A and B are shown apart, each in its own frame.
Chain A
Amino acid sequence: MSEALIEGRTGKWEMVLGLEVHAQIVSKAKLFSGAATDFGAEPNTQVSFVDAAFPGMLPVINRYCVEQAVKTGLGLMAAINLRSVFDRKNYFYADLPAGYQISQYTRPIVGKGTIQLDLPGGETRSVGITRLHMEQDAGKSLHDQSPNETYVDLNRAGVALMEIVSEPDMRSAEEAAAYLRKLRSILRYLGTCDGNMEEGSMRCDVNVSVRKPGAPLGTRCEIKNVNSVRFVMQAIEYEARRQIEILEDGGKIDQETRLFDNAKGETRSMRSKEHAHDYRYFPDPDLLPLELDPAMVEKIKASLPELPDEKKARFIKDYGLNAYDAGVLVGEQASANFYESVAKGRDAKIASNWVTGDYFGYLNKSGLDIATAPVDAAKLGGLIDLIADGTLSGRLAKEVFEHMWASGKPAAAIVEEKGLKQVTDTGAIEQAIDAVMKEQADKVAEYRSGKDKLFGYFVGQVMKRTQGKANPAALNELLKKKLAG
């Protein structure tokens, strides 16, 4: 990991990173009330009296959310605690109606686990999960509705979150990004969180410290609520540099909570350790300890889908893909499924090249996803079939694909329509070669006197004459023969 070290005035520094991710649990109802959880609803339309903390209201645990948390724990290869406890985290704020957040403090539902990071070059690295606990989200304070009043929207208040805490195992912004991407991928496979950082259903706090390699851990700062992978990387780079500068100037790091300013790309102090809240945690007397039936945990375990790591291993083994391509394909369940449909009964490597290459490229450019793209797996498969049977050259296939994307028509129809069928008729190719050699007699002479590099030039000329339809293999063979005289 030496390449991750940062060069300072006094030598190399290593960053130590740990992430706390708040992932909104996919569930129709909130963690302790029956209110709905739809994103983007009119303010205060998804609020029960429990969420608004009216007098005498009591929380009742949503069993489905518990199952989702267990499922996530299993997906993170983590220990499931059959007995966990909900605590109250007490603080006053306008968007926290009860004056406390129900969370899990000393006895979380999920204990230690691990995540495998997929790094560039197909390398992997494992990062420890410290714990996962369930808690309620707060509401939202709207400060921009009135010059002197704050409005509060409680739609989000009480929505179920999982806080997933990593060990301080990451050493670069890239690793932190890989961690977030992998965690997001696992959560989406499990269907326990949609991983949407823009809508806030996945939010990230980053703990950053720096040290000289081999030295004990430095003092950390926590950067709160960073809401995209890119910002997480920026925040880490900025914060590590800031800390190194302070330390190299002989200063010391204050343990504090900091905020990332997206616009300025810098972190700012939010509150220092001395001003840290005293949350006065204590077990919530309205809720009994959460006891899980081992049979329920087993049932969930048996129902787990094939997860990214297993899928990746299978793709490498069964399809002969390299680790990098396999990693890219399994990132999303939809793309893995898409690839498998395309590859079925076809050359797995060619399928992989098309899916990760042109297909993903067009998806990105168009902003579409697999479900809405004009070319589905069957159509892409049809195109690959036409390459395999010699109807299309690679070059022609790219052209056909472009038409397919624009029109949504199958490859065969486009080939028919546009007459893009590759010419394998040796007579026609020979004719074209003869014509080129006649026109370019001087170049032929040069070639024959040893200028081998001209071969490509001739290929191009012949292709041009056949409007690109010549079968490249046949062309090569015939051209070589004729040039040799």
Chain B
Amino acid sequence: MTSPMASRLTDLTIAEARDGLRKKSFSATEIAKAHVQAVEKARGLNAFITETPERALADAKASDQRIARGEGGPLEGVPLAIKDLFCTKGVLTTAGSHILDGFKPPYESTVTANLWRDGAAMLGKVNMDEFAMGSSNKTSYYGPVTNPWSRRGDNRKLVPGGSSGGSAASVAARIALGATGTDTGGSIRQPAAFTGIVGIKPTYGRCSRWGIVAFASSLDQAGPMTRTVRDSAIMLRSMAGHDPKDSTSVDLPVPDYEAALTGRIKGLRVGIPKEYRVDGMAGEIDKLWQQGVAWLKQEGAEPVEISLPHTKYALPAYYIIAPAEASSNLARYDGARFGLRVPGDSLIDMYENTRAAGFGKEVRRRVMIGTYVLSAGYYDAYYLRAQRVRALILRDFTQAFEKVDVILTPTAPSAAFGIDEKSDDPIAMYLNDVFTVTVNLAGLPGISVPAGLSADGLPLGLQLIGKAFDEETLFRAAQAIEQAAAFKARPAMVG
């Protein structure tokens, strides 16, 4: 039985936890204990690959000591779930793959190191699609994660989305105050939408990629997943920053995102791209989108119809560029130096045995696609053409942002689907990313905010896309939607 005190602590926002700790309403140890218990209780979700309760409690104890001395960082005493794509020193890091069996990195990723620097506590490493390839969390070697939400009057298990499915489920199920995610084509925003939480993919270069297992290097970006816009703003400020160890990280000061939450969006020009009204999109999604426009208008924003003409080429371009980079990034998993090794009679045998046993079906599919599109004779037709499409998509956005400050779209074309659905059709699965991949291809920031429920009671999200490195405007507009939507629904299991 969870005590009322404990459930009150797991229901806090990060901002409330911070303020309460400062006022000594409760201790970091109490918060950590409540979450450690909640994690245990929610094991049925399969959200965690590795639980680190001792670490969480030790971190909390250290936080309490700092708080007692009147010290403490911006995330002091906040227990977080870490996507298992982030290397954590001495703690098993799997990327959801069999091939990283037993891999305990001798180093800490820059993003997680930043979080610990600011006082956060680690609850453990959470489940994800293998190598972040997937939109359902079903490709994990460690099994699928269950969405804490279910359809009204229907107890069939649903996916939490992916690839950051464990992160999303943990935050939605109130077993972590926040979680790290990574987003290559929508892996933060789509699961955030599927689980009724907030998730932001920052501008490419905002967060260091150092120590994050690479999927597609030119698209990967880490970001926070939280229950409120404010919490994401607080968490991103800690995660972000220039890192000399990542040549693609940008040397720009990190703003105080929380201070940008002024609530004022009067005069904000909000672009509504006509190309995002896709065939087969549920009517309720379109309706929610119109509702989002109305909310922003109510707050004094000015909707502007815009065109992003190359949108329809984004998904195919993405599914060329991402696998191409992945095929090369994943070549290092060869059984020679770390993780799984399946011996063979020769070097080639060892490679083949190890990679056949170590990689799941979806990863193998993408490595094959990537190898193919980079091959001599196909490179120009696929990879180079996809890069040209990418440049055109960026140009679409650049032109649009001459007329607008942010762009509003749905996050995903549907609500969460069943764990047993869409299993055999990779194309249907890839269509989940239709509204999110453009943002990665253009390197822009995008945020998903819970905005309403589907007819059968599942959360739906709206996406806001911002100018490069203008996360502040994005947070401000996202909070306006958050406040207007007043999304108070909770998964049944949370009560």
Residues of A within 8 A of B (CB): 49, 52-61, 88, 90, 92-94, 97-100, 150, 152, 278, 280-282, 285-288
Measured between C-beta atoms, what is the minimum distance from B184 to chain A in Å?
12
A-B pairs with beta carbons under 8 Å apart, 10 shown: A56-B87, A56-B105, A56-B212, A59-B247, A60-B246, A92-B331, A94-B347, A97-B336, A282-B379, A286-B248
Q: Does chain A have a CB within 8 A of B405? A: no
Most buried by B among A49, A57, A94, A285: A285
List, in ascending order, chain A residues with CB within 8 A of B141's CB.
Answer: none
* Listed stretches B167-175, B193-201, B370-378, B446-454; interface member: B370-378
Report the Cα distance A61→B247, complex, angstroms.
8
Contacts known (A58-B210, A58-B247, A150-B347); A278 close to B376, Cβ less than 8 A? yes
Q: Does chain A have a CB within 8 A of B93? A: yes
List 10 A-B pairs, minimum CB-CB distance, nearest first: A99-B331, A285-B218, A280-B374, A285-B217, A56-B211, A53-B332, A55-B213, A56-B87, A278-B376, A98-B332
List, in ascending order, chain B residues with CB within 8 A of A60's CB.
Answer: 244-247
Establish whether residues A55 and B247, one from each chain, have CB atoms under 8 Å apart when the complex forms: no
Report the Cα distance A56→B83, complex, angstroms.
14
Contacts known (A56-B212, A58-B210); A282 close to B324, Cβ less than 8 A? yes
Report the Cα distance A92→B327, complex, angstroms.
12
Establish whether residues A55 and B383, one from each chain, have CB atoms under 8 Å apart when the complex forms: no
Establish whether residues A280 and B328, one from each chain, have CB atoms under 8 Å apart when the complex forms: yes
- For residue B209, which residue of chain A has the nearest CB? A58
Establish whether residues A100 and B328, one from each chain, have CB atoms under 8 Å apart when the complex forms: yes
Residues of B within 8 A of A (CB): 86-87, 93, 95, 100, 103, 105-107, 109, 209-214, 216-218, 244-248, 324-325, 327-328, 331-332, 334, 336-338, 347-348, 351, 371, 374-376, 379, 383
Report the Cα distance A287→B217, complex, angstroms.
10
Report the Cα distance A97→B335, complex, angstroms.
10
Please report whether the interface of chain B is mostly helix, strand, loop or mixed according to DSSP. Answer: loop
Please name 10 further chain A to chain B contacts, defined as beta carbons within 8 Å, in addition to the given A55-B100, A94-B336, A280-B371, sorted by A numbering: A55-B213, A56-B214, A59-B247, A90-B374, A97-B337, A278-B376, A280-B375, A285-B248, A287-B247, A288-B248
Establish whether residues B338 and A54, one from each chain, have CB atoms under 8 Å apart when the complex forms: yes
- For residue A96, which residue of chain B has the nearest CB? B331
Establish whether residues B328 and A53, one from each chain, have CB atoms under 8 Å apart when the complex forms: no
- For residue A100, which residue of chain B has the nearest CB? B328
Measured between C-beta atoms, what is the minimum distance from A61 to chain B in Å?
7
Partner pick for B217 among A49, A280, A286, CB 8 A cutoff: A286
List, in ascending order, chain B residues with CB within 8 A of A100's CB.
Answer: 328, 331
Establish whether residues B336 and A282, one from each chain, have CB atoms under 8 Å apart when the complex forms: no
Report the Cα distance A61→B95, complex, angstroms.
27
List, in ascending order, chain A residues with CB within 8 A of B246's CB.
Answer: 58, 60
List, in ascending order, chain A residues with CB within 8 A of B327's CB.
Answer: 90, 280
- For residue A277, which residue of chain B has the nearest CB? B376
Measured between C-beta atoms, what is the minimum distance from A100 to chain B in Å?
5
List, in ascending order, chain B residues with CB within 8 A of A97's CB.
Answer: 332, 336-337
Report the Cα distance A98→B332, complex, angstroms.
4
List, in ascending order, chain A residues with CB within 8 A of B351's CB.
Answer: 92
- For residue B212, which residue of chain A has the nearest CB? A56
Most buried by A among B107, B325, B331, B371: B331
Contacts known (A60-B247, A286-B248, A288-B247); A278 close to B210, Cβ less than 8 A? no
Report the Cα distance A150→B124, complex, angstroms.
38
Report the Cα distance A351→B210, complex, angstroms.
60
List, in ascending order, chain B residues with CB within 8 A of A287's CB.
Answer: 247-248
Contacts known (A90-B328, A98-B332); A55 close to B105, Cβ less than 8 A? yes
List, in ascending order, chain B residues with CB within 8 A of A278's CB.
Answer: 375-376
List, in ascending order, chain A residues with CB within 8 A of B105's CB.
Answer: 54-56
Measured between C-beta atoms, what is the minimum distance from A9 to chain B in Å?
39
Measured between C-beta atoms, what is the minimum distance from A283 to chain B in Å?
9
- For residue B384, which residue of chain A has the nearest CB? A282
Report the Cα distance A19→B244, complex, angstroms.
37
- For residue B346, which residue of chain A has the nearest CB? A150
Measured between C-beta atoms, what is the minimum distance from A231 to chain B in Å?
28
